[in-house]
Structure 1
Amino acid sequence: MEDKKEDIRVVVAKSAGFCFGVKRAMDIVEGQLAKGEAPIYTWGPIIHNEEVVANLERRGVKVLESEEELLGVRSGTVILRSHGVPKRIYDLLDARGIRYVDVTCPFVKKIHQIVQQADADGRRVIIVGSPDHPEVQGIVGWGDERTRVIGNLGDFLALEASGDLIPGEKITIVSQTTFNHKKFEELVEKIGKMNYSVICVNTICNATQERQDEAEQIASGVDAMIVIGGKNSSNTRKLVEICRSKCKSTYYIQTLKDLKPEKTITVRSVGITAGASTPNQIIEEVSFNVRRKFQGSV
């Protein structure tokens, strides 16, 4: 979507905003709130957007941050977040008889199933992603003690050097759904040339790939690029990385108030994209006010 009114050209990515999994999760949470069956909890933040989570908290949705807090639940409903959770969390909830609603993204659930099947087939699972991300931690929780997480080729070579990996070992490689698509392809190609029996399943979400490709295309043709999303959002940080590789003046913001353009640059065109957990109203507010924010640089 392109708007050429006034002096500054503004291009907003068509793929910006809630992805299918996040929209589905939010719709289910809203449905639970509409029932009025308090209390309602979420296991971790429902999505990686501080504005959304704060709004839900104001409406009575409490975030559980630890298994100790989860064990303290005596009534109400626990909503399992869109990033997915380890198998032991389901087991704990079932054992305690705690009511829960699962809003795990279907694309993440598919990875859980792939990991379980690989284990059953005696294959080592390698997850490409960030070990600190809740989605990856959830995926690890469906594997066995041999499951490992790597973020780059160096991590894989370190496993080799430590003796953790055995030459000729059967390996199944999956990816965090929001990993950089091009980096994943490059990494898998290099591992595939090594002495292992490799099965690679590209589990990067199609929406993620489309979002990254569009962001790169827009950033390549504008003077300034704005990426909107939560500071803890993995897919948003990857968009920032991609955009900064093409546009030096890339701004990473959560809301309009965070946008503070440099006055020393000349801006005739601005691109806007947003992470998968960014509500449309925030995107619209930024796109509506972006010219005013940049007018001092024209």
Structure 2
Amino acid sequence: MTKSVLIARSAGFCFGVKRAIAIADETAGKGEAGGGKGAPIQSLGPIIHNPQAVERLQEKGVRVVETVDEISCGKVIIRSHGVTRSDRAALEGKGVMIVDATCPFVTKAQEHARTLSRDGYAVVVVGDPNHPEVKSIISYIEKGAPVFTSIAEVAAAKGVRKAGIVAQTTQSFDNLMAFVAAAMKRFPEVRVFNTICNATALRQQESTGLAGMADVMFVLGGYNSANTRRLAEICKAINPRTHHIETEGELTPSMVEGASVAGVTAGASTPQWIIDGFLEGLKELWKCDTIEVSFYR
């Protein structure tokens, strides 16, 4: 019996993550940091939200630290999600060499948030307030400007006449529009910057179509990755037989039992080698003569 695997064409690394990994690899490959041989190379938080990719970087000498206080010398890589303005200032004060791997789309969201607050707008940030990217965006809002991170806060706002909206780059367009609708009801003037990365929107659109065609759907990526979890939620709403896994090691026979068509997508921080490994694991489970693998878009 013929089995088929449909892979979302946009699955895996987005531009910002690919750039961050390349910067980290290049930094680790130079073998020197901060002007002294053997000086440490650190990233302030994991470079990307994928444990396996971060582990590979650690093997190359890139150590993950959680706070600026843990850093005293060497090179510091600023991860793809960016850092807060206060953390960057603290790093500059330590005199360490800063290697900036912030995604350009995150940088743009930071700039829009700062400009809005300087122009007298309250700033609505659409996203998870506990996510490092959102924390970095909020940090660029000038002190004294009202900041809202939930629809409930927007609905309860008082004394605000104009508000500007920016979004975490991996948010869904539907969620952004829900905030826009709430803001339009509350404020006389609303200015919106669509800071959602195009790759995020495309990945979500592809996954939606793919989940509807597949007998079983797999979403590959770190459990700590917000955009991967969102993909899993979107797919599960369409196809209840959706599995979010990090690697092929989590595959079990029951996951594919009775299935002839498997759909595969992956978060923006999922390396290609994880996708390749998953496909090999799936072939081992199916053990059939013919497996057709094709891209879906």
What is the Cα deviation at residue 129 of structure 1?
0.3
Distance 1:27 1:200, change over 3 A: same
Percent identity reads 40
| 1:61-118 deviation line (CA, Å, top 9, x unaligned) | 1111013213xx1x21000000011111221122221111101000000011111111
The letter of the residue matching 1:150 is T
Distance 1:155 1:10, change over 3 A: farther
Q: Does 1:287 align with 2:279?
A: yes
2:201, 2:286 → 1: CA distance? 29
Bigger RCO (CA 8 Å, 6+ sep): 2
Q: Which of 17-26 and 258-267 deviates more?
A: 258-267
Determine if contact 1:129/1:150 at 8 Å carries over to the other structure: yes
What is the Cα deviation at residue 234 of structure 1?
0.6
**TM superposition outliers: structure 1 runs of 4+ over 6 Å:** none
Q: Does 1:232 align with 2:224?
A: yes
1:262 is paired with a residue whose SS is helix
1:276 is paired with a residue whose SS is coil
Map of 1:3 onto structure 2: none
1:220 is paired with a residue whose SS is helix
Give the TM-score normalised by the residue count of structure 2.
0.89
Map of 1:23 onto structure 2: 18
Q: Does 1:47 align with 2:48?
A: yes
Map of 1:34 onto structure 2: 29
The letter of the residue matching 1:12 is I
The unaligned stretches of length 5 or more in structure 2 are: 33-38, 289-297
Determine if contact 1:167/1:196 at 8 Å carries over to the other structure: no
Distance 1:168 1:61, change over 3 A: closer
Q: Which of 178-187 and 257-266 deviates more?
A: 257-266
- What RMSD over aligned residues (CA atoms) do the two structures have, in Å? 1.8
The letter of the residue matching 2:149 is I
1:35, 1:268 → 2: CA distance? 47
Determine if contact 2:126/2:179 at 8 Å carries over to the other structure: no
1:223, 1:148 → 2: CA distance? 44
Give the TM-score normalised by the residue count of structure 1.
0.89
The letter of the residue matching 1:100 is I
Q: Does 1:179 align with 2:174?
A: no
Match of 1:202 among 188, 191, 194: 194
| 1:239-261 deviation line (CA, Å, top 9, x unaligned) | 00100011111000000011225
Distance 1:77 1:280, change over 3 A: same
Map of 2:149 onto structure 1: 150
1:166 is paired with a residue whose SS is coil
2:47, 2:146 → 1: CA distance? 26
The unaligned stretches of length 5 or more in structure 1 are: 1-5
Distance 1:126 1:263, change over 3 A: closer
What is the Cα deviation at residue 263 of structure 1?
6.2
Determine if contact 1:168/1:197 at 8 Å carries over to the other structure: no
Determine if contact 1:130/1:149 at 8 Å carries over to the other structure: no
1:49, 1:198 → 2: CA distance? 36
1:166, 1:13 → 2: CA distance? 45
1:193 is paired with a residue whose SS is helix
1:45 is paired with a residue whose SS is coil
